Every structure is written in structure tokens, then in C-alpha cells.
Amino acid sequence: MTIYNIALIGFGGVNRALAELIATKNPLWERDLGFRLNIVAVSDLHLGSVISPNGLDARTLVEANFAKGGFGQLSGGSAEADNETIIKTAPADIIVEATFTNPKDGEPAVSHCRWALQAGKHVVTTNKGPVAIAAAELKALARANGVHFEYEGSVMSGTPVIRMAEKTLAGAEVKGFEGILNGTSNFVLGRMEAGLDFATAVREAQALGYAEADPTADVEGFDVRLKVVILANELLGASLRPEEVACTGISGLSPSDIETAATANSRWKLIGSAVRNADGTVTGSVSSKQLPLEHPLASVNGATNAISLNTELLGSVTITGPGAGRIETAYALLSDIVAIHNARAATATKEAA
């Protein structure tokens, strides 16, 4: 049986949910997936950092109500978040990066990923910053160091879209996509349709763990812009940068806009899309659109996301599922670890043959 030692960078909603899953699901994973996870280090800006080479008890981590700097009370702990030391020196096979998404330059998460890959450690992340801004560099670094850089949860949380499009739809020739790629804004639009004001609806999305640390990114479309860049670069072979994608959000929509759309049998949706043009270039955009009720994306509600991939051989293929949420996103991290485990097993089999 394989044990993967993991270090959690950031201990907010998503990584805490992963620890919660580890506390209850390790026996199941051991039986069904062939590995278990052991948390050997955690670092969080608010709580501090801790290294325990033999492993920390996941349940204690989740249940203890640590105050600011609280990891300082643990054996091997410090009240300061020393990410660099943790990433470089903790005896971890996999670094799990789930700090806040910085839509401007991806930092400090880009550095976290770089340090880990240079140290020969796999990286799994739900953080959109490093993927949208530095994927090419980080993938090259991973290859050079014989490790993996995996980021399924950076788009549509645990709903498989990146791996599904790349592996299961290989050869179908994706030509473009359009989708609802932000759970918070979709949830907020639905709550406004139910009569709530914008600010209350955003607060609800925050309480449910859908929103970014700064929800401006959700409602102004910046979060979707990162996801459009990630998918365009990954699936359409583009090398877009976020500032090249035109972007408007939902904050300009008033209750009367929402009402007018309903009267016209339509609904507002924040749509992210990209298309490969005839000359081979790729154009991406993010904007709120009034969709007729019969449009396939009009009936996608709450924090659910959906994406329609336009393919040469199959026509339109639509994937729908959770686009945000703590456990849903922690599942994406697990799916990345499963991918690493399966790739290692395949290499071992090849080498043995």
C-alpha cells in the first residue's frame, strides 16, 4: 500500500475540507484507490506553520479551533507561516497549494509551486493564479524534475473538465467553448431573481464557501477571465494572458434588469467563452448575457457550472456540475492525486516490462 505524505499550503475552506476527507475516507481510499494520505505539514498565513514528519492527526486539525498563530502551540509548530521552509524541507511527496487566488500576478502561489517543483515534489492546486499566469513555466519545471503539476480544480472545482476534455475527448478537436464558470455570480443572479438585493446575495455566497477572499473577482468577471485563459491555453493551444481577454461582470445589473429579462422569458448569465478563429488565433471573452430560457445554459442554477465544448467530430458536448464549494473542490485535489498515482503505477509497470 502506498502512503503519500502531503503538505497543505493554506488552511482555509478547501484544504480544511481535504483534511476532513482524509479523517474519514483514508480506509476507503486505501481499499479502492491503493493509497492513503498523511498530512506532514501545514502552513497558513493566519494560523502559522507546523511540520510533523510522522504525520498530523487530520481530525484534530479540523476540529481544533485554532486562533491566530495557533499552530505555534503544536509540537514542531510556529506562529509564523514559513511557506518557503515548509515547501522546501517538509518530508512531503505532494504540495497541496490552496492559498488565495491573486488574479494580477498569481503570487505568492506561483513561487510556492516553483519551490515545490524545483524540490522534486508534485504540486496539486485549486489556485487559478499560477495556472492562468504561469502554467507553461510550471509544466516545464515539473517535466524537468520528473514530477507532476496538476490543477483540475482550477476550473469548475471538482467537476472534471480539463482532464475530461484532454483525455476522454482526445482527438475530438475542441474548437471553442462557452460556459458558466463562476459559482458565486451564478448563485447571486439566482438569488436576485428570487428578490434578494445584490449585497445580501454576495454575503450568502461567501457564507457557503463559494466566493473568493475578495468577491470582487467573482462579480466583476476576473475569476472567469482566469478560467477562460486556463481553458483556452489548455484546450485550444493558445497562449492568452488575462489582460487579453475582454471582461465585464454582473455588478452593473440592477434589479430592474433582472426583472426585465424575466418578463422577456430570459435570464442573465455570466458567460466565459473562447473560440479558435480561421487564422488560428484564439479570442476569449467574459460578459453577462441575457439568454432565452430555451438556451442550454439558461437553466443552470445556483453554484452549478456548465460548459459546452464545441468539437469538430462530436458537435457540442456539455459538462455540468458543481463549480464551487469546499468539499467539491477538495475532491478536485483528490482527483489530481489519483492522476499522479495512476501515472506512477503506469511508469512502474512499463519499467518492469
Ligand X SMILES: NC(=O)c1ccc[n+]([C@@H]2O[C@H](COP(=O)([O-])OP(=O)(O)OC[C@H]3O[C@@H](n4cnc5c(N)ncnc54)[C@H](O)[C@@H]3O)[C@@H](O)[C@H]2O)c1
Ligand Y SMILES: N[C@@H](CCO)C(=O)O
Which residues contact ligand Y (rule: CB under 6 A)? 157, 182-184, 210-212, 218, 223, 323-324
Q: Which of 227, 269, 289, 350 is catalytic?
A: 227
- Does 215 bind ligand X (CB under 6 A)? Our answer is no
User: Which residues are CB-contacts of 141 (< 8 A; sequence separation ≥ 6)?
Assistant: 114, 117, 118, 149
Nearer to ligand Y, 176 or 179 (CB): 179
Residue least distant from ligand Y (Cβ): 184
**Ligand-binding site membership of 128 (annotated):** yes
Q: Which does 182 bind (CB under 5 to 8 A by kind): ligand Y, ligand X, none?
A: ligand Y
Q: Which residues contact 72 (CB under 8 A, 6 or more apart)?
A: 48, 78, 79, 80
41 and 49 Cβ atoms separated by less than 8 Å: yes
Q: Where are the beta strands (DSSP E) in 121-240?
A: 122-125, 149-150, 174-180
**Least distance (Å) between residue 52 CB and ligand Y:** 30
> Where in 60-119 is the site for ligand X (CB under 6 A)?
81, 83, 98-101, 108
Q: How far apart are CA 154 and CA 131, in angstroms?
A: 8
Contacts of 119 (CB under 8 A, 6+ apart): 87, 88
Alpha-carbon gap, residue 41 to 50, rounded angstroms: 5
Does position 325 interact with ligand X (CB under 6 A)? The reply is yes
Q: Which CB sits closer to ligand X, 16 or 276?
A: 16
- How far apart (Å, rounded) are the C-alpha atoms in residues 188 and 169? 32
**How big is the CA angle at 307 (ends 306 and 311), to the nearest 5 degrees?**
155
CA distances from 171 to 136, 165, 166, 168, 235 (A): 22, 10, 9, 9, 11
- Interface with ligand X (CB under 6 A), residue from 42, 324, 334, 340: 324
Pairwise CA distance, residues 207 & 217, whole Å: 16
- Residue 209's binding partner among ligand X, ligand Y, none (Cβ under 5 to 8 angstroms by kind) is ligand X
Q: How far is the CB of 305 from ligand Y (least distance, A)?
A: 7
Q: Is 104 annotated as a binding residue?
A: no
Q: Whole-angstrom Cα distance, residue 237 to residue 14?
A: 29
CB of 178 to ligand Y, least distance (A): 16
Q: What binding mask, one character per residue, do residues 124-143 give for ligand X by CB under 6 A, x or -?
A: --xxx---------------
Pick one of ligand Y, ligand X, none as the site partner of residue 218 (Cβ within 5 to 8 A by kind): ligand Y
**Closest to 7 measured CA to CA, from 172, 123, 160:** 123
Q: At its nearest, how many Å lie between ligand X and the CB of residue 211?
A: 8
- What are the cell numbers at 151? 490543477
272 scored as a contact of ligand X (CB under 6 A): no
225 lines the binding site for ligand X (CB under 6 A): no
Phi and psi at 316, nearest 5°, equal -90, 130
Give least dist CB 235 to ligand Y, A.
17
Asked if 104 is an active-site residue, the reply is no
**Judged by CB, which is closer to ligand X: 284, or 325?**
325
Annotated binding site: 128, 212
- Catalytic annotation, residues: 227
Footprint of ligand X on this chain (CB under 6 A)? Answer: 9-14, 43-46, 81, 83, 98-101, 108, 126-128, 153, 157, 209-210, 212-213, 324-326, 329
